[in-house]
Amino acid sequence: MTLFYFVDLYELDRNAKQKKIATFRMQESEQGMIEVDGDHNYPVLENIKNEGIFDYKNAKPGKLYLYDGMNFLENLKYYFRSGYLLATDVQKTTVDN
Amino acid sequence: MVEGQSFEKHETPKPEIGPGVDIESVLRGEIEEIDDYYEGYWPIQRVKIKDDGTAFFKTETTEPESPYYARGDYETIAIKLDRLLGFNIVPISVKRTIGEDRGIMECFIDDAEPAIKFSTYWPLMTTQQEIAQAAVFDYLIGARDRHAGNFLINSETGKIWLIDHAVDMFETGRHGSLIYDEARGKEISDETLSRIVALLEKLDSMSIEEVAAYAGETVDVSSIWKRIRENAVALVNAKVIL
């Protein structure tokens, strides 16, 4: 069994209905390496990967990137909270090897 | 009809936003349908208002460290400032209680998208005037969390909407304003300057009670409005976005 931590990111369509645009996933045994399930060419995901997000949890200036692992995952929900874009909390799942 | 605000089904035309005119009344209207909470960490629901359109209902929390703490008070300050300036740059929202949940009802902007969807090219999707106006607003409030997910752009008209005015934006954020950074050093137009001057005149004529009514019981509004006033004076003197 392999344990993964993940965060889902949603956006809204013109009717204010949600659709999932990405899952950010990190394997417990590979802390610090986040994979993104979603359209990598989608501008929102490109922007997250290239421009990073802010660190609200530790109230630090500067940015977090995919390679920041759990710290990145934990801050997605603070960065995307307007409703137009909305992230889940960090969740866990296990996958059979 | 106010551009972008998704209330379009009135039989009689709705007036423009301005003093005495009231999209808030729409947001206080009869709820026709309320969805389950969206998927996501924060408690937000999609609400259909009878004969009017779509809004968000964002439940406030009582945790001071939460971005949803005193949410309605901070949003109220942002909207009142927007109205005093006459910019029409902040989507209308009102405090409301649904069932036992206290929160804010916020107009859903159906013809604009978060700027992050345009990545770093977002300035090309709008106009210098829109950027300058939004930058003035952010300078006045001392915006601390205006990243590309916290403003919307209508890519056809270039109109900017500023969203997500929470405690991070006014008090605790450490990240400034992407819009302000884009506009820093640029001249403020005569029209915008006249609106800032008019803002100062209105603020000077308001009593403490009137200022306090512009938020609620959980936020120190006097210090925020004092900061806004000081920043407005600085802009009027400099005539550029500092």
Q: Which residues of A touch B48 (CB under 8 A)?
A: none
B119 and B234 belong to one structural domain: yes
CB proximity B38 to A under 8 Å: yes
B137 and B152 belong to one structural domain: yes
B84 and B124 belong to one structural domain: no
In A16-58, which residue ranges form alpha helices assigned H by DSSP? 43-51
pLDDT class of B1 with cuts at 50, 70, 90: very low
Count Cβ atoms below 10 Å from residue B155 Cβ, excluding itself. 16
Residue of A nearest to B53 (CA): A15
B85 and B194 belong to one structural domain: no
Q: Which residues make beta-bridge pairs with A86?
A: A10, A81
B65 and B173 belong to one structural domain: no
Q: Is residue B17 part of a domain?
A: no
B40/A86 Cβ within 8 A: yes
Q: What is the mean pLDDT of residues A44-52?
A: 96
B172/A79 Cβ within 8 A: no
Q: Is residue B13 part of a domain?
A: no
CB within 8 Å of chain A, chain B residues 39-68 = 39-42, 44, 46, 54, 56, 58, 67-68
pLDDT at B212: 66
> Which of B79, B107, B135 is a domain's end point?
B107
pLDDT class of B214 with cuts at 50, 70, 90: low
Candidate from B23-37, B56-70, B175-189, B209-223 with smallest mean pLDDT: B209-223
How many structural domains does chain B have?
2
Closest-CA distance of chain A to residue B205, Å: 34
Q: Is residue B60 part of a domain?
A: yes
**What is the Cα gyration radius of chain B?**
17
Interface probe, candidates B33, B42, B104, chain A, greatest A C-beta count within 10 A: B42
Per cent of chain B over pLDDT 70 is 86
Classified as helix, coil or strand, B84 is: helix
Task: Give the C-alpha distances (Å, rounded to integers) separating B5 from A81, B24, B38, B91, B177.
Answer: 20, 12, 21, 7, 24
Interface probe, candidates B35, B90, B116, chain A, greatest A C-beta count within 10 A: B116
> Which of B107, B124, B151 is a domain's end point?
B107
Q: What is the pTM of this model?
A: 0.90
Query: What residues make up the domain containing B80?
Result: 24-107
> Which of B107, B131, B164 is a domain's end point?
B107
B225 and B184 belong to one structural domain: yes
Is 90 exceeded by the pLDDT of residue B231?
A: yes
Task: Give the C-alpha distances (Å, rounded to integers) separating B76 from B96, B105, B199, B240.
Answer: 12, 11, 16, 27
B95 and B125 belong to one structural domain: no
Query: Of the candidates B54, B108, B114, which has its C-beta nearest A85's C-beta?
Result: B114
B95 and B209 belong to one structural domain: no
